[in-house]
Chain A
């Protein structure tokens, strides 16, 4: 195996190395993201989620570019086949795969090295492909037209019911008022404090009439009558304050 490497082999080695680093980057990124989801799910916000997705999509793109690049040999021309299958655990393999694959055995290899779908699936795909190939162009256009028609009809129906629904919602928002705060206040005031229920008290009427009477008296040109009450007031005041001022 130590034979001098051909130019193609060198290219393949270099290409694979690049591919491995890119895939490794992508894997790390996904692992970090999963870790974030598991540990920071309470504080994680949507923008930082989007950032993570953008990073991954960028890495996928660069991987794609590498695969399409000029320096990458056509990988499909190479065949990978297992030389040895063994049920025994292989520590080297386990280390390489970070504990995911313990041994290169008969159970795993068909899944990992698969390049084609399973035979049953392939059969089904072929069947459908044949059927599609056999369809008459005319019938195809006919069916296409009818499908378009149905779709546009359906869209119309959805749009019209959406309009209706929005109208309904709008009407619900403008539902007529069923209660008035002022009425609540009035009713509560009436029931708890008798507001607007109390009859005008006859004694109250007298009290209301009183001031008017005295007003007339004040307007009366006789000054003695008007002064009398104020004199009494001051007398009472000084009388009550006196004993405390001079004990």
Chain B
């Protein structure tokens, strides 16, 4: 059992040496409209109305016997589009976000995405994964080149598994703003591009590499 977790994450690294470069921030709901307007001007899909999404995400965890607290659990995130029931479900593994030094402008974490069938949650349960938490994210999606911008509101679900509007409760008075790029390992130049883009959203939103170790 010892080392099972490492080989697990190593396997991910081996299979898909993809990395997600990430900048995070938030905007108060009252000013969200202004941000959307600006994003429409900056991004590629300017001619269409902003693409909306409404996703349900369930995070499953499997206990790991490793001693290091950082890898105590393996988390897998299952996403499903509530507004497109016919779309495949999506399962995602995310590694520990690395802050790096000053020369790096973004967070970088290993990232592994797979599309899967709708019974993936049962499958995970059978494997021994347990549902850790779940939420609904609703918002807008933009892209500029390979950069992806998501402006989304995060809702807590008051009843397990229920995604009706009246059982959802927003957790803050802000929208979350994420700027991300998934790229093969070693493409550090993307950070510069992202930094320049984030610069254009100031002072409306301050997108920064948010150190996840600072989290409570």
Chain A residues within 8 Å of B, Cβ to Cβ:
175-180, 183-199
Report chain B residues within 8 Å CB of A193: 212, 215
Question: How many residues on the B side are at the interface (Cβ–Cβ under 8 A)?
Answer: 33
**Are A196 and B204 in contact (CB-based, < 8 A)?**
no
Is B135 part of the binding interface, using a Cβ–Cβ cutoff of 8 Å? yes
Min Cβ gap B161→A in Å is 11
Which of A175, A178, A186, A194 interacts with B133 by CB under 8 Å?
A: A194
**Which residues of chain B have C-beta atoms less than 8 A from A175's C-beta?**
203
Chain B, residues 108-148, CB within 8 Å of chain A (1/0): the string is: 00000000000000000000000011110100000000000
Q: Smallest distance from the beta carbon of A191 to chain B beta carbons, Å? A: 6
Minimum distance in angstroms from A196 CB to a CB of chain B: 6
Question: Which B residues touch A177, using CB under 8 A?
Answer: 28
Provide the residues of chain B in CB contact with A190, threshold 8 Å: 135, 154, 171
Give the contacting residue for B154; candidates A176, A179, A187; CB below 8 A.
A187
Q: Are B212 and A178 interface neighbours, CB within 8 A?
A: no
Chain B residues numbered 169-213 whose CB sits less than 8 Å from any CB in chain A? 171-174, 176, 203-206, 210, 212
Cα A184 to Cα B212 in complex, Å, equals 12
Contact status of A179 and B133, CB under 8 A, knowing A188-B212, A192-B212: no
For residue A195, give the distance in angstroms from its CB to the closest CB of chain B. 7
CB distance from B133 to the nearest CB of A (A): 3
A175 to B31 alpha-carbon distance, docked (Å): 12
Q: Complex: how many Å from CA A122 to CA B2?
A: 103
Minimum distance in angstroms from B146 CB to a CB of chain A? 21
A192-B212, A196-B156 as given contacts; A179 in contact with B206, CB under 8 Å: yes
From B35, B172, B216, give the contact of A183 (CB < 8 A).
B172
B31 proximity list for chain A (CB < 8 A): 176, 178-179
Interchain residue pairs A-B with the least CB separation, the first 5: A194-B133, A183-B174, A178-B31, A184-B26, A197-B133
State the CA gap A187–B204 with chains docked (Å): 17
CA distance A214 to B26 in the complex (A): 45
Expressed in whole angstroms, the minimum distance between the Cβ of B71 and any Cβ of chain A is 14
Bound together, the chains give a CA A218 to CA B194 distance in angstroms of 60
Q: List 29 A-B contacts (CB under 8 A).
A: A175-B203, A178-B27, A178-B28, A178-B34, A179-B31, A180-B174, A183-B26, A183-B28, A183-B173, A183-B174, A184-B24, A184-B174, A185-B214, A186-B172, A187-B154, A187-B176, A188-B210, A188-B215, A190-B135, A190-B154, A192-B97, A192-B215, A193-B212, A193-B215, A194-B132, A197-B154, A197-B156, A197-B171, A198-B132
Contact (Cβ within 8 A) B25 A179: yes
* Closest CB in chain A relative to B139 CB, distance in Å: 11
The answer, among A191, A194, A199, for a CB contact under 8 Å with B176, is: A191
With A and B bound together, what is the CA distance between A117 and B24 in angstroms? 71
Complex interface bits, B6-27 against A, C-beta within 8 A gives 1, otherwise 0: 0000000000000000001111
Asked if B133 and A184 sit within 8 Å, CB to CB, the answer is no
Given contacts A179-B25, A179-B204, contact A191 B215 (CB under 8 A): no
Which residues of chain B come closer than 8 Å to A183, judged between CB atoms?
A: 26, 28, 172-174
Cα-based distance from A96 to B59 in the complex (angstroms): 92
Complex Cα distance, B25 from A189, in Å, reads 12
- A181 CB to nearest B CB, Å: 8
Contacts of B176 in A (CB 8 A): 184, 187-188, 191
Residues of A close to B212: CB separation below 8 A: 188, 192-193
